[in-house]
Structure 1
Amino acid sequence: MIRIIVTAIWLLLSAWLLIWVGEGLFGVDQRSSILPFRGEDTLGAPIFIGVAWGLILTFGGTMGALIPRKRMRGETHLGVGRIVEVSRTGLTVNDVPQYDLFVRVAAADGTEFISRLRMLLDPVEQGAVEPGIPLPIRYSLADHDSVEIADMNDASVREAMLDWRIQRGLIAPRLVRARRSGLQAPASVLSIRPTGVRREGQIELELRLLVAPEGQQSWEADTTVFVYPEALARVQVGSPVWARYLREDPHTVAMTIEREDAA
């Protein structure tokens, strides 16, 4: 509501300034005007209105950005959103630019929809919101325009993201148990070969890893993984990664790029 009122005031001031400029440039009788607060010897009103217009332009958007998003109505579900477009809004707050993220959300019932997220992103965060990157999304069943990024520190959110990958065949069946509950250890990439298989915008890689649990003897293991093309730079020969392996079968290894905290 506040944003609507501020926008309406800014539009009224914009119209006043446009008419004032038009009358100054093209008016025949400069002594009369259709505008209120305008007289032959009055310059105070245009100056005041111009300053107010500029302040609203500068800070009105900031205020709108700081107003919390409306709470999601009704029942909410978790889904996976893939970023399809990122664009700047032109607004900055404390030198941090604001962006619109358009995401295609794969809902729990198998349907898809596109929604928008508006947020402030510093230069470090911008690299994590490139097109194609998946995000955990919490959405309202009653209003698909009401979405937010779910907290990956929440164990239920991590589980939902993992379920999504398993359901879409992005984790080989033989690796599911290791990926869900295997022991975690640092590893390094020894070799890499693309298989040519693509799925959900990701490419499949065959990897040989050197698994090196702390305080134990290291070993080599072969595995497969699907990654987004944007993440290939982090899965090269020599790259440090993480492995999840079965205690009873340490050569059954699922790879993750980031360390995963225990639920």
Structure 2
Amino acid sequence: MKSKLRAAAVAFGILSVGYYLYYGLTYTPDEFTGGMLGWVGPQMALPIIALTVVPMVFAFTGILEAFTGRNSSEFRDAEVGIGTITSFRQTGVSVNDQPQVRIEFRVEGADGKTFDSHAKMIVPLTELALLQPGVVLPVRYLPGRTDKVEVDRSGDSGAAQRAMNESLIRKGITTRGKLDIAERGLAAQAVVRSLDVPGRIRGGYTEIVLGLVVTRPDGSTFETRAEKYLPPSAVGLVQVGRILQVHYLPGNEQEVVIALPVNA
């Protein structure tokens, strides 16, 4: 829809200017009129209208996308990648007092390759504080043109989660076995009794070893240890005494998976 409206606006602009130039170049003055009337007169109306309509159409279609919460038709079915914010700035454009922001990303594609790109989007003032370097967001990208991406607005959390899982597996941060436990295991709560940091790092994530006391659904408890790689910003969430959400399989209580938010 956006492409059709913009194409129609551009076509109208070209035809309007073309008609104006044709009229001026082919105008034949008579003994009562001068050659200037070939350029000044009612024929100016169409180019003036075009200069007003074309920018309005481009602006309206951009605003429409911002408030419909959907990706543009070009990116709607594009690949899903993992974008890490490296920087952002306001562009100076605003819609209903909500600023447009240019976000610089380091994107990891579905094939594991990384590239730098950017996205522009309208961000409510109340959410600007959430845009910080290091924050991870799912993005849509075109494999043949990676200079621009769009933050994924499809609401398909499954696609975003799959992209994140594959990224973590490639980096050695998790395994398919642990992901299976997170998907099929029982949800429970656990208290951190001990915290050890062996010192190993993978992809900027620090390895930690936790001693846990897990409470089963029936109220009984068991003790276990869990190894996990965490970004430095999330280490504070697993300090001794913290209550964590975990998953485990009843037949293997020694293998516990900790659930933490991506942008902890």
AA matched with 2:63: L
Unaligned runs of 5+ residues in structure 1 are 6-61
Relative to structure 1, the CA distance from residue 258 to residue 126 in structure 2 (aligned partners, 3 Å threshold; closer, same or farther) is same
The residue that corresponds to 1:186 in the other structure is 189
Query: Structure 1 residue 133: deviation in Å?
Result: 2.7
- The partner residue of 2:163 within 160, 166, 171 is 160
Q: Deviations over 1:30-57 (max 9, x none)?
A: xxxxxxxxxxxxxxxxxxxxxxxxxxxx
The residue that corresponds to 1:233 in the other structure is 236
Please state if 1:204 is matched with 2:233: no
Instruction: Report SS of the residue matched to 2:220.
Output: coil
* Shift >6 Å, 4+ stretches: 62-65
Query: Counterparts of 2:247 and 2:94 in 1: how far apart (Å)?
Result: 42
Instruction: Report SS of the residue matched to 1:215.
Output: coil
Relative to structure 1, the CA distance from residue 258 to residue 83 in structure 2 (aligned partners, 3 Å threshold; closer, same or farther) is closer
The residue that corresponds to 1:137 in the other structure is 139
The residue that corresponds to 1:101 in the other structure is 103
AA matched with 2:248: Y
AA matched with 1:118: K
Query: Counterparts of 2:101 and 2:198 in 1: how far apart (Å)?
Result: 36
Query: Counterparts of 1:146 and 1:246 in 2: how far apart (Å)?
Result: 42
Question: When the two structures are superposed, what TM-score results if normalisation uses the length of structure 2?
Answer: 0.63
Q: Quick check: 1:235–1:257 contact (8 Å CA) kept in 2?
A: no
The residue that corresponds to 2:88 in the other structure is 86
The residue that corresponds to 2:36 in the other structure is none
Query: Counterparts of 1:152 and 1:237 in 2: how far apart (Å)?
Result: 35
The residue that corresponds to 1:66 in the other structure is 63
The residue that corresponds to 2:120 in the other structure is 118
Identity rate of aligned residues, in percent? Answer: 27
Between structures 1 and 2, the one with greater helix share: 2
Q: Deviations over 1:44-82 (max 9, x none)?
A: xxxxxxxxxxxxxxxxxx968624264226962222222
Q: Deviations over 1:106-164 (max 9, x none)?
A: 11223221111223444664454322232222212233244233356532332232122
Query: Counterparts of 1:152 and 1:226 in 2: how far apart (Å)?
Result: 27
Number of aligned residues: 205
Q: What's the RMSD between the two structures over aligned residues?
A: 3.5
Instruction: Report SS of the residue matched to 1:109.
Output: coil
Q: Quick check: 2:75–2:141 contact (8 Å CA) kept in 1?
A: no
Q: Deviations over 1:148-200 (max 9, x none)?
A: 33356532332232122122200157634423432222333332222322222
Query: Counterparts of 1:255 and 1:175 in 2: how far apart (Å)?
Result: 9
The residue that corresponds to 2:246 in the other structure is 243
Q: Quick check: 1:208–1:223 contact (8 Å CA) kept in 2?
A: yes
AA matched with 2:150: E
Question: When the two structures are superposed, what TM-score results if normalisation uses the length of structure 1?
Answer: 0.63
Q: Quick check: 2:173–2:202 contact (8 Å CA) kept in 1?
A: yes
Instruction: Report SS of the residue matched to 1:238.
Output: coil
